[in-house]
Amino acid sequence: MNRRILFAAAALAALPLAAHAAEPFRIGLLVPMTGPFQSTGRAINDAVKLYIKQHGDTVAGHKVEILLRDDAGVPDNTKRLATELVVRDHVNAFAGFGLTPLALATAPVATQAKIPEIVMVAATSSIVNASPYIFRSGQVLPQPATIAADWALKHGIKKIVSVVSDYGPGYDAEKWFNDRFTAGGGTVVAALRVPLANPDFAPFLQRVKDAAPDAMYAFVPAGVGGIFAKQFVERGMDKSGIRFIATGDVTDDDNLGDMGDAMLGVVTAGPYSAAHPSALNKSFVDGYREISGGHRAGFVAAFAYDGIEMLYRALEKTKGNMDGTALAEALKGLSFESPRGQISIDPETREIITPIYIREVKKVDGALYNVEAETFAAVKDPAKAKP
């Protein structure tokens, strides 16, 4: 054979491999980019862009392709868009999910298509039970709720009123705080639930004031903390002598800077603070500020950044095999450093194992931050603990 034929033969032999390698790794990113939860979609999208910018857009020979879809926070949209992403676009994985109902609506689609669904923000504990393909990159509410309750018991708080958004994660936040607090000798004077859509906290805050507990404990999802804080200040709650404790969702770094000095001293339990002192977090916060047009990185961005890293690592582990079931197996047991600290994926429950911090709102260089005071490493979902 002359050299030219030899070359042609070699090129032909290499073709199937090249065609395989050229197949992109397609991630369907389902998030609310419009509607009342658009700040969640914006943060997820920016964090995903940042991860790809910092780590490259090729994994195990595959180019990463993000297919962004706006569900506007409506579960029927999420399900329809997820189905289209499978049938038309042949995605290899789903990610995103700004609210529990959106993650749940997609579960049967992930099960049928046999592709991983990375739940980044939705945080009701039961979500992972809806499909063996669901994995969590963020948090579940029983994690911060139990730690917040322990903190309250240790700090002389004897009576509380809980205020939560009236849906899945709110019920988790309420149950796991109130049960723990009661078991430790505390009294729950009232457990209030506020509608998720267009919340008016004023009448609920008035009831808290009238009940005069030692503390108010609160959960609202990302995007709602700003409204809650505003009405808290308007009602003069900061001068009522009632302590304010919450899950980290309430003092979201995404808008903590605008909440006002009345938030000083608020104690929260949560997995992520922009003030977390690590080199990785500094590069994350700096990179996020640049890519987002000046926003401070909050927990939503951190959870999305981790979720994309999970998919990158899973695809590396399968050595480029994009089969959904192989990816799901590879996701189990992953462990790596996140901007929040060390995290891992529980291989039995597919649930995030995360650090949870007790933080206090303080001024750092003239701006409000969640300053970490106590660390609880490798917290599993207490709702999935074996008896």
Residues found near ligand PHB in the complex (CB under 6 A):
99-100, 121-124, 168-169, 221-222, 249
The CB-of-100 to ligand PHB minimum distance in angstroms stands at 4
Q: 168 or 186, CB closer to ligand PHB? A: 168
Provide the token pair at 181: 């607090």
- Whole-angstrom distance, CA of residue 254 vs CA of residue 278: 19
The CB-of-185 to ligand PHB minimum distance in angstroms stands at 28
The CB-of-249 to ligand PHB minimum distance in angstroms stands at 4
The CB-of-36 to ligand PHB minimum distance in angstroms stands at 12
Q: How many CB atoms lie within 10 A of CB 182?
A: 13
Q: What is the number of the residue whose Cβ is closest to ligand PHB?
A: 221
Q: 39 or 92, CB closer to ligand PHB? A: 39
Q: 220 or 353, CB closer to ligand PHB? A: 220
The CB-of-228 to ligand PHB minimum distance in angstroms stands at 12
Q: 170 or 213, CB closer to ligand PHB? A: 170
Full 3-state SS string of the chain? CCHHHHHHHHHHHHHHHHHHHHCCEEEEEEECCCCCCHHHHHHHHHHHHHHHHHHCCEECCEEEEEEEEECCCCHHHHHHHHHHHHHCCCCCEEEECCCHHHHHHHHHHHHHHCCCEEECCCCCHHHHHHCCCEEECCCCCHHHHHHHHHHHHHCCCCEEEEEEECCHHHHHHHHHHHHHHHHCCCEEEEEEEECCCCCCCHHHHHHHHHHCCCEEEEECCCCCHHHHHHHHHHCCHHHCCCEEEEECCCCCHHHHCCCCHHHCCCEEEECCCCCCCCHHHHHHHHHHHHHCCCCCCCHHHHHHHHHHHHHHHHHHHCCCCCCHHHHHHHHCCCEEEECCEEEEECCCCCCEEEEEEEEEEEEECCEEEEEEEEEEEEECCHHHCCC
Q: 62 or 296, CB closer to ligand PHB? A: 296
The CB-of-158 to ligand PHB minimum distance in angstroms stands at 28
The CB-of-123 to ligand PHB minimum distance in angstroms stands at 4
Q: 165 or 281, CB closer to ligand PHB? A: 165
Q: What is the dihedral of CA 175, 181, 186, 191, to 10 degrees?
A: -20
Q: 41 or 169, CB closer to ligand PHB? A: 169
The CB-of-209 to ligand PHB minimum distance in angstroms stands at 25
Q: 100 or 292, CB closer to ligand PHB? A: 100
* Positive/negative CA dihedral, 146, 148, 151, 157: negative
Q: 138 or 287, CB closer to ligand PHB? A: 138
Q: 59 or 266, CB closer to ligand PHB? A: 266
Q: What is the dihedral of CA 248, 251, 253, 259, to 10 degrees?
A: 180
The CB-of-8 to ligand PHB minimum distance in angstroms stands at 57
The CB-of-172 to ligand PHB minimum distance in angstroms stands at 8
Q: How, if at all, do strands 215-219 and 341-345 pair? A: unpaired
- Whole-angstrom distance, CA of residue 383 vs CA of residue 362: 31
